[in-house]
Structure 1
Amino acid sequence: MSLLHWAVLSPFLLAILIPFLYKYLRRIHTGWFVLILPVLLFSYFSRFISSTKQGETITERATWIPSLGIHIDFYVDGLGLLFALLITGIGSLVILYSIFYLSKEKEKLNQFYVFLLLFMGAMLGVVLSDNLIVLYSFWEFTSLSSFLLIGYWNERERSRYGAQKSLLITVFGGLSMLGGIVLLSIMGNTYSIRELIAQSSELLDHPLFIPALLLILLGAFTKSAQFPFHIWLPDAMEAPTPVSAYLHSATMVKAGIYLVARLSPVFAESGVWFWLVSIAGLVTLFWGSFSAVKQTDLKGILAFSTVSQLGLIMSLLGIGAAALHYDTLGDNIYLAATVAAVFHLINHATFKGSLFMVAGIIDHETGTRDIRKLGGLMQLMPITFTVAIIGAFSMAGLPPFNGFLSKEMFLAAMVNVLELDIFNMETWGVLFPVVAWVASVFTFIYSMIVVLKPFTGKLRHLDKKPHEAPIGMLISPIILASLVLVFGIFPNLLSSSIIEPAVASIQPSLADPDYHVHIAFWHGFHPEVWMTIGIIVVGIILYKTLSKWNGIYRIVPDRFSLNSLYDHGLKGMERSASTIMKFLMTGSIRNYLLSIFLFFILSLGFSLYWKDAFVLDTGNFAPFGVYEVVLAAIIVIGSIAILFAKSRLTSIILLGAVGYTISLFFVLLRAPDLALTQLVIETISVALFLLCFFHLPLLASRKEERMTFRLNNALISIGVGVIVTLIALSAHSNKLFASISSYYLENAYKEAGGKNVVNVILVDFRGLDTMFEISVLSIAALGIFAMIKLRLTGRKDKS
């Protein structure tokens, strides 16, 4: 494996070592050891800036399952590098912040940093993978590790609820995305993202194109909390603040953004992609900003603001897709939407990360995040107040902060969309700038609430006396706030090094060495300037009169909300599952087998009939003699005799006789190893049956048990036998592929050095299957042992 592979895997490796470091180095905060890794990774990925700036792509391959075309291919281009730097850079600051936020005496730091490292490694795998199956594997690992991080304080009911909610919604989207990946592989005969992009024009007319598009977007929308899947993100705020600052401002919620950006070259030429991505983004932008204003918890406001900002970026990526419909890059104003999306993605990570940390500081130093209980903290916490002003004003889109620049670019893109002459934009296109402007007004309002409510006004009486946070907790938000200022005053620091390569990755077909990103504060009195002035004026008025109009949030009762729908839906599924289980789980093995076999007969019998699949060809049957006939008769007679046996002992003996007779078939067919295996299995089975027979309770009458004839059991048994026989005859008579036996005979000794072909198949050719079979049996044995111990413990407790 290459150094790039080790860089992605290093968080997983360090996660394995954390419990040992925690155990033997308790005097030192575990975070100090963890901090070293993201700093090194950030330095490592920074080396690629000059390469991606020149348009180069660094690729590395590690073979995994070559027969299926699945390789662990990592590559670094402009887009992947941007996310890798965010993951490791923001990760370093979050870990530094957590060292002072989480007490090593009160918190289970070993678990926290293991979960955080697992998440960091999973995110790096997502943004650097070229193979879609590998990307999906890391994608689901982000869901699992974020579930563990959100539920870190698992003694709290709300933490468990938020963790479960995020897992159910994001895993649902992940499974949908897997379906889309499979469809893409069928369409393009590859799992490689780069190869699929190269075939994008051929894929557009494929009948599976739209289903694949919809399934991929389901995965992206659920992960990036787009409406109506956004409901998991506010509840995820029950996680510790460092987790919120990391997952919900710079990493996890950006995974869906990354997926849309990465696969835009594949899908962007479709009008369905344009409309779905753009509208989902705008609706999410409006609903997130509108909902944020009514929140009273600081992290709740920031959660809905994150939803809103993610919608903004998503809508820009949707509009940026229109760039593929124009030939001239230099004159294409619509490509500016993609530039704005990339720039705002960076800006959001800086100002939102700092604001989450400010919320954590307020909570840490005052004991509450409720804005109704806060006020007047400006004099007691001046540094925190300064950071809050920078972050909130940037989020509101005020100069001279970086959020102002990307917000202006966003508004410009929404105005320019009116000039589109594709996708029927001449009719509904006017709604784009209108919705964007209204949502931006609410963005301004909640930004003012975040900074003014806690820090201005009169100082409230609190249970904990507030004071400025320790310097260690302030370093990370100060660094992020400084970046907000630097990127705002000197925006072109990132233009050629980060933004241009990322845009070229999203729009590779439009790559042009003569195109350069230039971001400036002033472009004249364009419509977006007047829109910004209107946002500020109307925003100030609405903020000042908030108490007079916030009653609109009470018009629709909470029971009609999406959260209520989710809760009732979950409870409904639980009740339905409970009802079904009570009906099916009667405690009778006979009833279970009856249901299973009945379904078996109906489903397979119907399939044979519907597909006209039954075929009988006796031409390839092997000849049989008197010995086979005699043995077959013995097996049939023995099997039928079991049904009429009057004692358990007789049944066991007859069952053993049937098994031993089958072993004679193997001898006649020149398979002595199989015959020996059959003899051993039958001997063990008979011994075990006899042992069980010895321990079975005596019958109440102390007489031999008499078997009564049951018509339904007879019909089910005959039906299963008939169906299995028909399927076996059809499979033998209608072979679609050449037998693989010749391959094993030719390669068993040459490849594996074994003369016993069966043993070689089990140990070498199918070694992985055999290992999993052993694992399944081991797990089953442990489960049975646990149930036995549980019953014994229960009896002792009862006594």
Structure 2
Amino acid sequence: MTALHLAIIAPFLAAVFVPILYKMFPNIHTGWFVLAVPAVLFAYFLQYLPVTSNKETVMAVLDWVPSLDIHFNAYVDGLGLLFALLITGIGILVVLYSIYYLSKKTEALHTFYTFLLMFMGAMLGVVLSDNMMVLYMFWEITSLSSFLLIAYWYEREKSLYGALKSMLITVLGGFSMLVGFVLLYSITGTFSIQETIALSSEVVSHELFLPAMLTILLGAFTKSAQFPFHIWLPDAMEAPTPVSAYLHSATMVKAGIYLIARLSPVFAVSGEWMWLVAGFGITTLFWGSFSAVRQTDLKSILAFSTVSQLGMILSMLGVGAAALHFDNLDENLYVGATTAAIFHLINHATFKGSLFMMAGIVDHETGTRDIRRLGGLMTVMPITFTIAAIGGFSMAGLPPFNGFLSKEMFFTAMVEFTEFQLFNVDTFGILFPVLAWIASVFTFIYSMMLIFKTFTGKMQPEKLDVKPHEAPFGMLLSPIILVSLVLVFGFFPNILSYTIIEPAMASILPSLLQEGEQFYVDIYFWHGWTPELYMTLGVIGTGVLLYLGIKKWIGVYRLFPEGLSFNRLYDQTIIQGERMSEKVIGWHMTGYIKDYLLYIFSFFTAALLFTLFYKGAFVVNTENVAPISVYELILAGVLIVSVGIVMFTKSRLKAIIGLGVAGYTVALFFVIFRAPDLALTQLIIETVSVALFLLCFYHLPQISKNLESVRFQAGNFIISAAVGLTITLIGIAASSSRLFDSISGFFPEASYEEAGGKNMVNVILVDFRGFDTMLEILVLGIAAVGIFAMIKLRMAGREQL
């Protein structure tokens, strides 16, 4: 295992020790120990910057299940490194913030940080795995760990609702993505992402290309909260604010963005990919921004803004696919869309992370996040206001912040997309800049709401749960660092151009570069009086007017009936599904073992008998059958009589004796068949069983008179006879037809020569079936521990009485 593999699994290993550290050092906040994990990993991944800047990659190979082509291969290129740095870098700030946000006196910190580290490791596995099956494994771990993080305050009903909602939607999308990976494997014969990219020409021409693309996109859309699957993200805001800042600004919701970017070299040459990615992205951008304005909770506003911003990034990746349809890169203007997508991916992590932390600070220091109860906090929380202003203005796309630069590049991409001459863009392409502009107006409005309705106006102390005051410096440090990056990346954006952005572009659009070439990336503020600048001025002017007159038009949201929402559809689906499942379960889960056996045996006999005769597998061959001795006939008669006694006697003592006779008779059969070890084992088991039955006989209740009068049931008799007939026919057919040479000659020879044992039965149990025997011992051990625990609990209960 290489250092790169260790870097991926390091958070999982650290998570094992979190509960131990929590117990050993109760007076120290557990977050201080956890903080070292993302810090060390961030420093480790920084060493790959020179490698990826030179268009080099690193592949660390580790065979896992080679027979299924599943290998834990870690791959670092520009795109993977970008996400690894985001995951660990933002992870440092989130852990630092959580130390001051979560009290060690009232919170279960060991569970919180265990889940957080699980999520961190899973995200690293997603972005650094070259094998699709390994990527899928980590993908589902992100869904599981995010479920646990969202449900961290499990005593709250809304937390459980949001956690379940997020897991159901993202896990179902993950299953769809798994189908897409299997389809790709059937086309290429490999699960390696890089090998699949190398075979992209074969994938495009294959008949399974479109199904593979659609199923993978469904997984990406659900994970990145694209319309109409966005409904899980606002409900996930019930998680603690550090979770929201981490999962929903820089990591989990970016997993779908990563998947689309990673597989763009395979699918982006098709018009369907471009329309679906760009179309869903621009629709999500509009709907998210439109929905954010109607929210009154700070985190809800930020949740819908995240939906909107994710749609913006996705639309740029979709439009950037147009670059693959030009032969001359110098004439290609569409590469800028991919540049903007990557740049805004970084910018979004900075300003959105700071805004989530700001919302958490306001909630922590005032007791509410409702903007209708807030206002006038600027004077008592000036540093928090500064954080909100910088982050909010950047999100609104105002200069001189980094959000303005990527938003201008976004407008440029949307305008230029209308000039694209393929895939009928000239018909509906005009909708892209129009929707982009309208969505940007709403983005401006909710950004101003976030800032001014919280921090300006008249303070309402009577509506606040606690007296507002500035947060401690430790809680402010992380958002201060993030808004500082907003300013640095705004004034000096080109420090990222050839270290982060251009290498990531080379991973997304590798076919556009010849060996030794690179993309030209130069980000700056002034481009002259361009259409995008006029669009920005229009956004500001219209946004200011609409914000100032918001009370006059906010009623438009009442035109959208709640009963027709996607949330309503989800709730009704869950409710109806639960009702249907209750009916189905109530029909067959009766609580009676006899009913369960009835279902099992009926299906068992019907399926096996049908298969046996349909395939012509029933054969009777008596050539190799040994003659039946008189002793065997006598024992068979005794066995039949003893079983009959067990079935028809009304005396429990007679039933126990009959059961013992049946067991001892089977042991005598083993003696006749020259299997002394089995006979000895059977005798011991029967002796112990009969003795235990007799010992317990006194404590058993008397047989009810109702049971004594139970009538003969023909249905049960038919099924019982059918089971016996089925087993008999299968046994005869198996003995009469030999498809393979008997294995009986292998064991005597292999037991002595290979295992070094003369007792063949013991060798089979210990060596040939070693894992089976070990697991049987494990099961017995678990049962023993469970019985011991129940006895101790019962004794403890008696002592309390």
Q: TM-score, normalised by structure 2?
A: 0.90
Residue number in structure 1 paired with 2:509: 507
Residue number in structure 1 paired with 2:151: 151
Q: CA deviation at 1:460?
A: 2.4
Q: 1:722 to 1:402 in 2, by over 3 A?
A: farther
Q: 1:371 to 1:715 in 2, by over 3 A?
A: same
Q: SS of 1:64's equivalent?
A: strand
CA distance in 2, matches of 1:787, 1:747: 44
CA distance in 2, matches of 1:735, 1:404: 77
Q: How many residues align?
A: 795
1:286 aligned onto 2:300: no
Residue number in structure 2 paired with 1:320: 320
Residue number in structure 1 paired with 2:408: 408
Please say if residues 613 and 730 of structure 1, whose CA atoms lie closer than 8 Å, have aligned partners that are also in contact. Answer: no
1:599 aligned onto 2:603: yes
What is the identity percentage for the equivalent residue pairs of Structure 1 and Structure 2? 64
Please say if residues 441 and 535 of structure 1, whose CA atoms lie closer than 8 Å, have aligned partners that are also in contact. Answer: yes
| Pick aligned residue for 2:565 from 549, 561, 568 | 561
Q: SS of 1:75's equivalent?
A: strand
CA distance in 2, matches of 1:750, 1:83: 55
Q: Compare 218-227 and 731-740 and name the one that shifted more.
A: 731-740
CA distance in 2, matches of 1:710, 1:775: 41
Please say if residues 418 and 426 of structure 1, whose CA atoms lie closer than 8 Å, have aligned partners that are also in contact. Answer: yes
Residue number in structure 2 paired with 1:614: 616
Q: Deviations 1:694-750 (Å, cap 9, x if unpaired)?
A: 543212459x94764211112222333445556667778888889888888887777
Residue pairs, 1:225-240, within 5 angstroms = 225-240=225-240
CA distance in 2, matches of 1:737, 1:328: 64
Residue number in structure 2 paired with 1:714: 717
Residue pairs, 1:711-790, within 5 angstroms = 711-724=714-727, 763=766, 767-768=770-771, 770-772=773-775
| Pick aligned residue for 1:624 from 626, 637, 644 | 626
Please say if residues 614 and 726 of structure 1, whose CA atoms lie closer than 8 Å, have aligned partners that are also in contact. Answer: no
Q: SS of 2:75's equivalent?
A: strand
Q: 1:446 to 1:713 in 2, by over 3 A?
A: same
Please say if residues 645 and 654 of structure 2, whose CA atoms lie closer than 8 Å, have aligned partners that are also in contact. Answer: no
CA distance in 2, matches of 1:207, 1:665: 61
> Aligned partner of 2:536: which letter?
T
Q: CA deviation at 1:587?
A: 2.5
> Aligned partner of 2:561: which letter?
P
Q: 1:763 to 1:91 in 2, by over 3 A?
A: farther
Residue number in structure 1 paired with 2:175: 175
> Aligned partner of 2:504: which letter?
A
Residue number in structure 2 paired with 1:84: 84
Please say if residues 647 and 705 of structure 1, whose CA atoms lie closer than 8 Å, have aligned partners that are also in contact. Answer: no
Q: Compare 224-233 and 314-323 and name the one that shifted more.
A: 314-323
Q: CA deviation at 1:93?
A: 0.8
Q: CA deviation at 1:659?
A: 4.9
CA distance in 2, matches of 1:105, 1:728: 66
Residue number in structure 1 paired with 2:540: 536
Residue pairs, 1:12-51, within 5 angstroms = 12-51=12-51
> Aligned partner of 2:723: which letter?
V
Residue number in structure 2 paired with 1:582: 586
Q: Deviations 1:299-331 (Å, cap 9, x if unpaired)?
A: 110011011111112222233334344444443
> Aligned partner of 1:486: which letter?
V
1:65 aligned onto 2:60: no
CA distance in 1, matches of 2:727, 2:78: 57
Q: SS of 2:72's equivalent?
A: strand
CA distance in 2, matches of 1:615, 1:504: 60
Please say if residues 197 and 265 of structure 2, whose CA atoms lie closer than 8 Å, have aligned partners that are also in contact. Answer: yes
Please say if residues 330 and 515 of structure 1, whose CA atoms lie closer than 8 Å, have aligned partners that are also in contact. Answer: no
1:52 aligned onto 2:55: no
> Aligned partner of 1:109: which letter?
L
> Aligned partner of 1:710: which letter?
Q
Q: Which runs of 5+ in 1 are unaligned?
A: none
CA distance in 2, matches of 1:264, 1:749: 58
Q: Deviations 1:137-191 (Å, cap 9, x if unpaired)?
A: 2222222222222122222222222222222222222333333333433443333
Q: TM-score, normalised by structure 1?
A: 0.90
Q: Deviations 1:60-89 (Å, cap 9, x if unpaired)?
A: 233333333323222221111111111110
| Pick aligned residue for 1:545 from 517, 542, 549 | 549
Q: SS of 2:407's equivalent?
A: helix
CA distance in 2, matches of 1:675, 1:297: 74
Q: SS of 2:63's equivalent?
A: strand
Residue number in structure 2 paired with 1:193: 193
Residue number in structure 2 paired with 1:468: 470
Q: CA deviation at 1:438?
A: 1.9
CA distance in 2, matches of 1:460, 1:127: 46
What do you get for the CA RMSD once the two structures are aligned?
3.5
Residue number in structure 1 paired with 2:275: 275
Q: Deviations 1:309-354 (Å, cap 9, x if unpaired)?
A: 1111222223333434444444333333222221111111001001
Q: Deviations 1:499-543 (Å, cap 9, x if unpaired)?
A: 122122223333433232232323344433332222222222221
CA distance in 2, matches of 1:746, 1:498: 64
CA distance in 2, matches of 1:257, 1:165: 20
Q: 1:326 to 1:113 in 2, by over 3 A?
A: same
Q: SS of 1:626's equivalent?
A: coil
Q: Compare 278-287 and 642-651 and name the one that shifted more.
A: 642-651
Q: CA deviation at 1:756?
A: 5.9
Q: SS of 1:143's equivalent?
A: helix
Q: Deviations 1:360-410 (Å, cap 9, x if unpaired)?
A: 111122222111111222232222222212111111112221112222222
CA distance in 1, matches of 2:248, 2:582: 35
Residue number in structure 2 paired with 1:125: 125
Q: CA deviation at 1:689?
A: 5.2
Q: SS of 2:178's equivalent?
A: helix
Residue pairs, 1:336-347, within 5 angstroms = 336-347=336-347
Residue number in structure 1 paired with 2:447: 447
Q: SS of 2:235's equivalent?
A: helix
CA distance in 2, matches of 1:745, 1:425: 75
CA distance in 2, matches of 1:739, 1:429: 71
1:110 aligned onto 2:113: no
Q: 1:558 to 1:716 in 2, by over 3 A?
A: same
Q: CA deviation at 1:357?
A: 1.0
Q: Compare 122-131 and 349-358 and name the one that shifted more.
A: 122-131
Q: Compare 363-372 and 532-541 and name the one that shifted more.
A: 532-541
CA distance in 1, matches of 2:360, 2:673: 75
Residue pairs, 1:216-365, within 5 angstroms = 216-365=216-365
CA distance in 2, matches of 1:486, 1:174: 37
Q: Compare 443-452 and 767-776 and name the one that shifted more.
A: 767-776
CA distance in 1, matches of 2:511, 2:562: 47
Please say if residues 614 and 727 of structure 1, whose CA atoms lie closer than 8 Å, have aligned partners that are also in contact. Answer: no
Q: 1:572 to 1:617 in 2, by over 3 A?
A: same
Q: 1:646 to 1:375 in 2, by over 3 A?
A: closer
CA distance in 1, matches of 2:746, 2:513: 49
CA distance in 2, matches of 1:741, 1:402: 76
Q: Which runs of 5+ in 2 are unaligned?
A: none
Please say if residues 412 and 528 of structure 1, whose CA atoms lie closer than 8 Å, have aligned partners that are also in contact. Answer: yes
